[in-house]
Structure 1
Amino acid sequence: MAFIYDKKEQVKTKIRNFNDFYKDAMNKGISIVPFDIYKYVNSFDDIEIINNDDKLFPFLGLIEKYQDEFVIAISKYVRIERQREILARLFTHLVFHRDYILQNRKIEIKNIWTADKMSVEANLFTSKLLMPKATFITIVRECKTFGEVAKYFNVTPQMVKLRISNLW
């Protein structure tokens, strides 16, 4: 279990599963399918997103504790679908690995498919967050290719494959 804290609303939300994220997003008027990860992360006052950062190279993205907020920076050298995945993964790190970030000041992503335990955990959660199970199953049945499914959810085909391989 993890917590997310919205300073603006002075609310600490318990996160036990994906439905808790979806409920929180819906309460804020945020689209679930496709999940509007940018709007959702921007709904927290203690997180700042720097999109299309050109100073990150060779990193795809990073999350860093800076004063009273967390800064998420995403490289401008990746496609929008990958940017969404990177943002979702960095947000996942914030929710589930906050203590690690606070101790080490940041997490950097050089390769989206890194095999360390925290990255694998974050990628799996990202795939589930960006592609809700019930809708995902329906769309997979309707589409002929991974590319079609990826386009529907605005993610990469690799993320679709990860979601399929970990459906339950």
Structure 2
Amino acid sequence: GGKRDVVPHRVNRLIMTPEAPGEYYGQCAEYCGTSHANMRFRAIVHPKGEFEQWVKAQQAPPVESTDALAQQGKDIFGKSACVGCHTIAGVSAGLIGPSLTHFASRRTFAGSLMQTTPENVIKWIENPDHMKPGALMPNLGMTGDKSKALAAYLLSLK
């Protein structure tokens, strides 16, 4: 493990050198502001060859879904403020929020706080701050059919 203190205007780096493949979990160990308890991470360590394959797959655009609901969600994504913050390779190039290119390949989202399930993704779209207080993603007022379609699209991105 390792620990770094947060000092305003100072960039700290924590380098981990894994010794064996596996999943390793960490969490912020020092109070540093709102959502402190939600500052978790998971590092997945693969052998070098598997890691190189993963990197190559991550650089490719997602496979286009033929599902009608997912296509509706893609249209909603493209016409909403989502495109201003999030990248989806071949669709949008936002730089503020996390890339959503292969969103469905993740087991968790929102800082590893939530399992990537249709129900959680819909709840997140409809009210991100309720799901993770202090979240930077704004509430765009999407509900009902729109949030279900957008969730179907995100869950098609593998």
TM-score relative to the length of structure 1: 0.27
Structure number with higher helix proportion: 1
- State the TM-score, normalizing by the size of structure 2: 0.28
Which structure has the higher relative contact order (CA within 8 Å, separation 6+)?
2
Higher strand share: 1
